[in-house]
Copies of this chain bind each other. A is one copy, B any other.
Amino acid sequence: ELGPMIVTAAIGQDTSLEDGDILVVTQKVISKAEGRIVDLRTVTPSERGLKLSIETERDPRLVELILRESKSLIKIDSERGIIIAETHHGFICANAGIDQSNVAGEHMVSLLPEDPDGSARRIREEVAQILGVRVAVIISDTFGRAWREGQVNFAIGVSGIDPILDYRGSLDKQGSVLKTTSIAIADELVAAGEMVMGKAEGIPVALIRGYRYQPSAGGVAYLLRDPASDLFR
């Protein structure tokens, strides 16, 4: 149970949680807590997995897992062994979010949580139960992007916070109505989390305090572009 562990860690470093705090929690620690770690030696590739593994020169057991975790494949670069997939949740990312870093054992890989919104909600509820404070929780993972070098943190699960900050209809400083601006604030908050979490340090939780956000019962789906209005697939 991550909620109690996070509360204990926060108290241990003299930063007990307060109403309105935002917890950014990495996918990796969620996946570990939820048993979403797979030993590649237990995976038997299907025919489709074998074919794609030959095409991309990747480990057939990893490719098989990517196929199982995917709704569809978006782009394959055979020469460089790159597989961009859409996961069952609707995230578009390399290898369907499966990776090997910060997992013990050379044959072990982590899959994304099955229901990252649910994972976020559980932590939120546990914190509320133990401390009686209302926090928002965002689960983060590191994705690459089209057109840009380098990876950044993306929100893959949210609870208690509206992931979109909608300025449409509000006025700018000049008194003009902002027509198109809606900000993916959950993505920006987890990007800010990077400043204290790093990648190699293994720090699984960041605490953001003092940012006023819009509470919401909605989940991460608000951040996913409807395929019908998506120009890039």
Contacts and interface: CB of A to CB of B under 8 A. Distances in A.
Interface residues of A, number: 63
Given A75-B232, A188-B192, A149 B173 contact: no
Interface stretch (A54-62, A112-120, A163-171): A163-171
B103 A174 contact: yes
A65 B226 CA distance: 29
Contacts of A106: 176
- Copy number in the complex reads 2
Interface in A171-200: 171-174, 176, 178-179, 181-185, 187-189, 191-192, 194-195, 199-200
A230 interface: yes
Interface stretch (A4-12, A41-49, A140-148): A140-148
Given A142-B181, A181-B142, A148 B231 contact: no
B174 A104 contact: yes
Interface stretch (A13-21, A128-136, A150-158): A150-158
A92 interface: yes
